[in-house]
Structure 1
Amino acid sequence: MALYYCDKCGHLWQYHGGKQDDICDICKNRLRPVPDEYFENPDFKVLLSKDMEQKLIRDLVLTSPNFDQYYFDNKDDIQLQQWEEYRAMMEHGRAVLEGRDIGNQYGVSCPYCHATNVKRISVASKALHTAVFGIFSMGRNSKQWHCNHCNSDF
């Protein structure tokens, strides 16, 4: 494990192994490894004490030519916004997989499976169904919507 910092926004990032992405998620600047002198125990390079973290920010971030006050002041808000966008994207993907969302323009959802993958039952479809099935199609003809996910009419 290793600890990295961004000299533009002051974001600290802990690398746990695997593929290392050396770009800051906040400001898209290149991350730099924290020098050994900022660790209380150089063999255990995981967490800094609050005093050492403040010293690192004071010595390496605030004096850097890359330092950006906007990113430094708003890094928590930017990260929260990124997490919200990621959460919304994942929820949308989950909804598409479950058949709940394909961009329904009607604002109608299936009362049985709650999918929004629905279509309006057309008059032509009702007439054709009546011509084929006669009196037995009256139950379906009173419905307005068809769910493409669970094939129910409502």
Structure 2
Amino acid sequence: MTVIKACYMCDKCLESPEYDLDYDGGDFLCPKCGYKMVYWETCEIDTETNKVVNRWVEPIRKMNNPYISSGTSVKMNPVVTCPYCNSTNTKKISLTAKAVNTALFGILGTKRHKQWHCNKCGSEW
């Protein structure tokens, strides 16, 4: 048997309890710190194994969540900045470039220890 529950998340302490969908008591407050919680996702939970079978985001509840509707949720890519010029115009040095550099220069090749390249100032770190 499966049960459908709405998952809410607290911005302050990151607690995420599950609530029944028919709850209409207004704002959800965190049981741990009392902070207002926002809708995160809806889960279908198997009651026998107590595991999540399916997850989805409801569009109506999504509109009320500023993190999901604005697209600034946890799925943001980290921004790498150059430690020398603070530019965000950087690229990751590929494994192929490292292998070619090591093949040409051997242990004297400098790119094998580097991970990022700045397109503005040309530094590698």
Say yes or no: TM over 0.5: no
Kindly indicate which of the two structures has a greater share of residues assigned to strand: 2
Structure showing greater radius of gyration is 1
TM-score (norm 1): 0.30
TM-score (norm 2): 0.37
